[in-house]
Amino acid sequence: MKFIKKMDIWLIFSLFSIIILLPQINQHALVLGGDSLFHMNRFYDAMMQIKEGNIQYFVSMYGYSQSGRIVNALYGPYLAYINGFIMLLTHSWLKYQIVSDWIVNVIAASTMYYLLRSNYVQKSYAVWISILYVTTYAVTAWTLSQQFLSWGAALFPLGISAATRMIRDKNEPVKIIELALSVTLIIQSHVLTSLILVLVLTVFFIWSMFTTYNIKKLIFGVLISSILTTMLTSNVWGALLEVYGSNHLLAPFHNMEPLQNGTINLSLTNSQLSIGLATLIIIQIMYVFLNKNNLSKLNVGVTIIGLIFFILSTNFLPWNTIFLHFKSIAIIQFPIRLFIPAITLLLLGLGLSLTDFSSRVQNHLNIDYLLIGLALFTVLNITAVVTDISGQASFWKTEQVITRKANVRELVKGDRLRQLFDSKQDRGKALEYVYKPTSDYVPILDKEANIENPYGVFDKEIYKQNKSVTKSVVDRKLVVKWNDENGGDIRQIPIIKYQNTQLILNGQTLAKNQYSLSEIGTVSIKSKRGLNQMILSYQPSFIFHLLMVLNVLAWISVLIFLLIPKTVKLNIRKHYKRSKFLN
């Protein structure tokens, strides 16, 4: 019976996740937002690696114009392969997008429900608030503009559940698997979001130090969880050490004007924060501050912390000045990322307040009014999101096709572009005709180098040079061929070389003095007359191989532990305690 009830709730979330995507489904429209082309290249590369059996963890051999650049290894590698597998199964860009949107929505609703129920929020409130969470900008950003922060946001409530346990459960403030997996999953999906989660966890850890009955148990649990997380994410930080340790990489886009591009603008026309959601936030904050002496410390605490993060995500602060003078803070790029912990904590606080109020009110009619009010606000937010999705989908039928064209290069438009994206034969073809020459993570000669227009350089040296060569993938290696009529000329080849990238030209492994590199790592060599062939491969260090073995073993161990029946775990624990007592 309990299983059926859980399945009913999952079914509600699944159906709701389909409902908000109906505008896109009905219009048969692909939504191409600001980050679409970047992530499409990532997942297309992963899909083709799986499809053709040419698994290459580091360099891109199919995406990004087959340039050999490194992206996925530094940006949610396992999740990239999961998305690549989904692409392989769905057979079209549109089906992939709808399925991935649905998955993000269902995960977000499920994790928020887990957070709320873990904190004893009444079930009826928990369901509606979980649906409400899906309609917030933190989650809908993936559907509306393919911002990957939504994958982190979908998993974020798991981390908050581990954080609140430090306060609500004074006898067992840390469940090692819960804390380790919540941090691990977010690191595996979006590193910047994981840094924000660690910040939130640190706040709750310090708070717990003053409230827990057993500080040693708290510290021990956090320590063991950290060690386990380190092992479960060794593929991520290992790749970062591998690439950053041997190369100077061009940093991702540095947002110099976050107030104009990257904060929640508190206005009536702001689509990132609906009037309904803003009203609920205000009600929760006012309720807590007016009744703080009668509410649980957890409710008061999550509301205050959530409010702080909410203020930090808005244009209340002089973010332009902060980013200018504090480069370490500017790494977050967009302060709106801080909206993720803000809305998660504030919605948890709302659930706690509704549950608290219901427990103190004897009149069931008042409780029904509360539930109806929450449902009404949620429906209003759903309506706003459906309208936004419909608006974004409407671009598909226009000549523009792409909703945001900043730095986008289009070789075709309108009907021809739609035909390319609708093609089920070769989904990579569309990425050849419309692309965004993002230059993140390319190797530069000097870490202090100031490349005036890296997007333009990447476009010139990679995308435009591709016309004069042919590229293919053979045995996990990228093969580039071209004809040179004269021979002896210095020729720039549209591939990127990192420290551990290996190059073989016409059967000969190239030494450092046999090639030169541009300011973004593009290779130039002296070619021979006639047909030339360059083979590119990547050989990671021995240490990285060891870290990958550690990572696989750690995941296998955790999965085995999770699959062990609960009764067996209890017997093992009792046996351990008994033997400890006898000794």
Residue-wise pLDDT for 219-260, tens only, equals 999 999 999 999 999 999 999 999 999 999 998 877 888 888
What is the reported pLDDT for 4? 44
Which whole number is the average pLDDT over 104-125? 96
Rounded CA separation 320/254 (Å): 12
Which whole number is the average pLDDT over 578-583? 50
Q: Burial letters for 120-136: b for 16+ Cβ neighbours within 10 Å, e otherwise? A: ebbebbbbbbbbbbbbb
pLDDT in tens, 441-497: 999 988 777 788 889 999 999 999 998 999 999 999 999 999 988 887 889 999 999
Quick one: 309 exposed, middle or buried, by C-beta within 10 A (0-12, 13-18, 19+)? buried
Rounded CA separation 319/508 (Å): 52
Q: Is the pLDDT of residue 112 over 70?
A: yes
What is the reported pLDDT for 276? 87
What is the reported pLDDT for 582? 46
Q: Is the pLDDT of residue 575 over 70?
A: no
What is the reported pLDDT for 84? 97
Q: Which amino acid is at 573?
A: R
Q: Is the pLDDT of residue 268 over 80?
A: no
What is the reported pLDDT for 258? 87
Q: Burial letters for 239-257: b for 16+ Cβ neighbours within 10 Å, e otherwise? A: beebbeeebebbbeeebee
Q: Is the pLDDT of residue 576 over 60?
A: no
Question: pLDDT band at residue 571, thresholds of 50, 70 and 90?
Answer: low
Per 3-state DSSP, the chain is made up of helix, strand and coil in percentages (nearest 5) of: 60, 10, 30
Rounded alpha-carbon distances, angstroms, from residue 271 to 276, 311, 335, 391, 476: 11, 17, 16, 12, 45
List alpha helices for 394-461, DSSP H. Answer: 414-422, 430-433, 454-458
Do residues 99 and 86 touch, judged by C-beta distance below 8 A? yes
pLDDT in tens, 488-527: 788 999 999 999 999 999 999 999 999 999 999 999 999 9
Percent of the chain with pLDDT over 70: 94
Half-sphere exposure of 44 (CA within 13 A, CB side): 23
What is the reported pLDDT for 267? 65
What is the reported pLDDT for 581? 47
Q: What is the pTM of this model?
A: 0.93
Top-confidence range, 219-228, 313-322, 400-409, 431-440: 219-228
Rounded CA separation 118/112 (Å): 10
Question: pLDDT band at residue 363, thresholds of 50, 70 and 90?
Answer: low
Of 187-201, 301-315, 438-452, which gets the smallest average pLDDT?
438-452
- Average per-residue pLDDT for the chain: 91
Rounded CA separation 560/555 (Å): 9
What is the reported pLDDT for 216? 92
Percent of the chain with pLDDT over 90: 75
Two tokens, residue 276: 């309904």
Residue positions counted in the chain: 583
